[in-house]
Structure 1
Amino acid sequence: MDSLKAFIDAGGYAPGDRLPAERDLIGALGMSRTRLRKALDALEREGLIWRHVGKGTFLAVPEDKPIVPEMPDIGHHLTPVKVMRARLSIEPAIAREAAVNASGKAVSQILRAVEACEEAETWAEYEAHDDAFHHAVAVASDNLLLVTLYDQMNKVQRNVAWRRVVRDNIRPPRSHTSFEEHRNIAAAVEARDPMAAHDSMRRHIGSVSARLFGEI
């Protein structure tokens, strides 16, 4: 058991990590299968590992330190609808904070992003500027936690939702509804109107969701 513990410590495994398969442990530790299984049984009794048939052996998580999946991994557990519902819960509040705290420079950045979206020649270019617009709104909140929260949420969204979208044309049409919605959000932030900013962002995200995935 001591050699197995030493192997785990030397390998830098973190709580929740999966250990190598038994055949690999046998080779790395130079022990028989019977001896290895006895060592695994002992570690499991001590609560240091747990085993799942068909999945493997994992380093246990201390009860006071539950594992939170990394943001890229969260996407494997979400549907586009759940992502959009998260955006509906969070981004209107971010926009409200932006209207309260935005500096003149922050408002200018939002307005530049609005214009860049409308000038985009491809969907990929539009989506990059759209990200910049929403990021600029978050920055205008003057709250690093909200900026970080938005950025992480956006990474998940792009992995989960946008990869399923099929476009019928090369670039956004001039009638693309997000253009006016972006301008409404920007105008509310510039006017320092928190409720208008909140409601405009909520309508925008609801509109995007309805267009791409149906009503939520």
Structure 2
Amino acid sequence: MLAHPDALNDDDPVSRLRGFIAHGDYRPGSRLPPERELTDELGVTRSILRKALDALEREGAIWRHVGKGTFVSATEAGLTQPRGSLAELGRQLTPVKMMRARLTIEPAICREAAINASNAALTQMNLAMERAHAVSNWQDYETQDDNFHRAIAEATDNPLLVAQFDQLNQVRRAVALGNVVRRSARPGPDHPSFGEHEVIATAISQRDPHGSYEAMRNHLRSVSARLFGEG
């Protein structure tokens, strides 16, 4: 127990928060639960929680966006980067510039995946696609969409490309959050990304680097057109 509910006299609340993130499978770009849930999980008052959040933000382990939430940074996952750089990028980039960055990087990652993907990596892609079809809301769909794209990065068998994807995805989350308006409770069975993901996965499984590159590029152009009116 803490001696005083409003005093942060040692690192215990910070350590608890850091442990919660580490053991909760929060990836770079993941949004942490609301403060009211964190206070229950950590057994601290809201004032102590906020001091712990402040401490981790100063370390670069998390970053916060007013009105949008608290997010895990790539630094928390052990990646090296200037403190606050990705958070700052997320505040500066427009959705169109973010998508152009994805169009530059992710097709090349997809091409590498077609060359290096293991059977286990292909299984992870297929699992993410199956789960995406079964979701009941957009938040769960976006989780599986993230899992699909990260499985492609992992299929490259290149830790540097995986780290690059994680950083790009963290910025993507920050830019897209609040800029995307959903007009239904969940994706419909004819949601375009379902078919586009299948084309990507097929090209990778067929060990087709050029086809994989083009499939990802076409998918991202389609997403950009649907969400932001840019292709």
TM range (shorter): 0.5 to 0.7
The percentage of aligned residue pairs carrying the same residue is 51
Measured after TM superposition, the shift of residue 85 of structure 1 is 0.3
Please give the alpha-carbon distance, in whole angstroms, between the structure 2 residues aligned to 1:68 and 1:162.
Answer: 21
Judge conservation of contact 2:110–2:209 (CA < 8 Å) in 1. Answer: yes
Judge conservation of contact 2:103–2:220 (CA < 8 Å) in 1. Answer: yes
Give the aligned partner of residue 208 of structure 1.
Answer: 223
Please point out which of 185, 192, 195 is paired with 1:180.
Answer: 195
Please point out which of 131, 142, 145 is paired with 2:146.
Answer: 131
Q: Which runs of 4+ in 1 moved over 3 A?
A: none
Please point out which of 87, 99, 108 is paired with 2:114.
Answer: 99
Match of 1:211, SS? helix
Measured after TM superposition, the shift of residue 75 of structure 1 is 1.0
Deviation per residue, 1:22-59 (Å, 9 max, x gap): xxxxxxxxxxxxxxxxxxxxxxxxxxxxxxxxxxxxxx
Give the aligned partner of residue 86 of structure 1.
Answer: 101
Please give the alpha-carbon distance, in whole angstroms, between the structure 2 residues aligned to 1:167 and 1:211.
Answer: 11
Please give the alpha-carbon distance, in whole angstroms, between the structure 2 residues aligned to 1:202 and 1:68.
Answer: 31
Give the aligned partner of residue 125 of structure 2.
Answer: 110
Alignment of 1:44-63 (within 5 A): none
Alignment: residue pair count: 150
TM-score where L is the length of structure 2: 0.63
Measured after TM superposition, the shift of residue 163 of structure 1 is 2.1
Deviation per residue, 1:190-213 (Å, 9 max, x gap): 111001110000000000000010
Letter matched to residue 195 of structure 2? E
Letter matched to residue 153 of structure 2? A
For structure 2, list consecutive stretches of 5 or more residues without a partner in the other structure.
1-81
TM-score where L is the length of structure 1: 0.67
Please point out which of 132, 135, 142 is paired with 2:157.
Answer: 142
Comparing 173-182 with 114-123, which one deviates more in the overlay?
A: 114-123
Please give the alpha-carbon distance, in whole angstroms, between the structure 2 residues aligned to 1:200 and 1:68.
Answer: 34
Provide the aligned C-alpha RMSD in A. 1.3
Please give the alpha-carbon distance, in whole angstroms, between the structure 2 residues aligned to 1:82 and 1:69.
Answer: 19
Deviation per residue, 1:105-147 (Å, 9 max, x gap): 1111111111111111110000000000000000001111111
Measured after TM superposition, the shift of residue 69 of structure 1 is 5.3
2:180 paired with 1:165: yes
Bigger Cα Rg: 1
Give the aligned partner of residue 37 of structure 1.
Answer: none
Letter matched to residue 76 of structure 1? R
Please give the alpha-carbon distance, in whole angstroms, between the structure 1 residues aligned to 2:195 and 2:87.
Answer: 31
Please give the alpha-carbon distance, in whole angstroms, between the structure 1 residues aligned to 2:83 and 2:111.
Answer: 28
